[in-house]
Amino acid sequence: MVHITQKSCVNDSRMRRNKPGFSLIEITIVIMIIGVLAAGAFGGLRMLQRVKASTTNSKLAALDSAIEQYNTMVGEYPTELRELSEGPQKPQLRKKWGEPVATEDELKDAWGKEFVYTLGAKGARPPYSLESTGSTGDAHILSPKSQE
């Protein structure tokens, strides 16, 4: 007959604690912490994309105003977007041009990509198309004037 004494139980529990490895509870806690961190990072990334899209929409609206200001000043819409900062390409229009209506930085979206500007045919409505391709290059964020 085997008798277990209190002393041997205490020694057994100490030996169990000294074994290498992690308990199921420790592993579960680590997995939960990793999950919470991953969810936070993913949520932050989505928020950053929304902020960049909002910034891009604001820049598009500002560029619409700059393009209209250029048209009022020169009498024609720019053939290329960079004319808003560099001036008209046509020598006869350069005389009418006062000063830049946009900076080089304003000609790029929040992802650092240049806006896509296409001048329509004379008399077309809208007179031009102005958009951002977004972070992936396949989105189409249109300026307010391009949506008329």
What CATH homologous superfamily does 56-147 map to? Glycoprotein, Type 4 Pilin (3.30.700.10)
- Residue 49: what are its φ and ψ, rounded to 5°? -65, -40
Residue 1 has pLDDT above 80, yes or no: no
Q: Which two tokens stand for residue 90?
A: 């046509």
- Residue 24: what are its φ and ψ, rounded to 5°? -60, -35
| pLDDT tens-digit readout, 48-64 | 888 998 999 999 999 99
Residue 148 has pLDDT above 80, yes or no: no
Global pTM exceeds 0.75: no
pLDDT at 48: 84
| pLDDT tens-digit readout, 65-122 | 999 999 999 999 999 999 999 999 888 888 888 889 999 999 999 999 999 999 998 8
* Maximum Cα interatomic distance, the chain, rounded to a whole number of Å: 114
Residue 123 has pLDDT above 60, yes or no: yes
pLDDT at 57: 92
pLDDT at 15: 52
| C-alpha atoms less than 13 angstroms from C-alpha of 15 in its C-beta half-sphere | 6
Mean pLDDT of 14-40: 77
Q: Between 100 and 3, whose confidence is greater?
A: 100
